[in-house]
Amino acid sequence: MLVSGRRRLLTALLQAQKWPFQPSRDMRLVQFRAPHLVGPHLGLETGNGGGVINLNAFDPTLPKTMTQFLEQGEATLSVARRALAAQLPVLPWSEVTFLAPVTWPDKVVCVGMNYVDHCKEQNVPVPKEPIIFSKFASSIVGPYDEVVLPPQSQEVDWEVELAVVIGKKDPHNLKICCRVNGEVVQSSNTNQMVFKTEDLIAWVSQFVTFYPGDVILTGTPPGVGVFRKPPVFLKKGDEVQCEIEELGVIINKVV
């Protein structure tokens, strides 16, 4: 998932999760389109990156959006497990277009200054409470879509972030990195998070109600362009790759 906004580019890998059901890390839920299909479909990306299992073809009664899938909980997830075990034919990558894992969430909650090493980079104290702000769902694009530079801004930055969709084990010991044009610009570990995912959910839940499909962007590690000397920002033609251990990589071209 990539969210672009004022003076920053927030890039995050989305791990679908919802209590109490527990999708395994081998089960990568995706939304996709294909030329021979009408509208978006739900699928499972195979572990070796070989293609996508069409969940809606396996069970036509399944919803076709991730939000509806999450709302139905264990009932829909059990169908996905059966599809994964059935060793069904897959659609090759060349025949599908990946959409954002969740489109039009009710909320996109963001967390600032949530990596210890990012705070050190700026020479500021680690916050005692989460710093919360939000982004608009309309700015979300897919994991391999182009990113359009806003003509009003000359300071669009890169930021790799872990995103969670409201459960699962706390993903707090994963390598996280960002590359711009092949050069590593951010490299850290989610164990550097000041506030872990369950703490963030508990904190934000004091003020708002979370719904299935809501997204929390958990903050970015050090290495963003604005704090380089001199500052460096994205330009037309740049390629941003964001990677999180065990989850995968997304690639977005800047246009």
Q: Determine the pLDDT at residue 143.
A: 94
Q: What is the pTM of this model?
A: 0.80
Q: Do the Cβ atoms of 103 and 81 come closer than 8 Å?
A: no
- Please choose, from the candidates 17, 22, 140, the residue with its C-alpha nearest in 3D space to the C-alpha of residue 70: 17
Confidence at residue 49, expressed as pLDDT on a 0 to 100 scale: 63
pLDDT of residue 149: 92
> 167-221, pLDDT tens digit by residue?
344 767 899 999 999 999 999 999 999 999 889 999 999 998 888 889 999 999 9
- Residue among 247, 99, 124, 94 at smallest CA distance from 176: 247
- Compute and round to an integer the Cα radius of gyration of the chain: 18
- DSSP track, 91-122: B-GGG-EEPPSS-S-S-EEEEES-BHHHHHHH
Strands 175-180 and 159-165: unpaired
- Give the chain's residues under pLDDT 70: 1-26, 47-49, 166-169, 171
Instruction: Return the pLDDT at 2.
Output: 38
* Encoded tokens for 77: 């997830």
Q: Residue 25: what pLDDT?
A: 52
- Amino acid (one-letter) located at 48: N
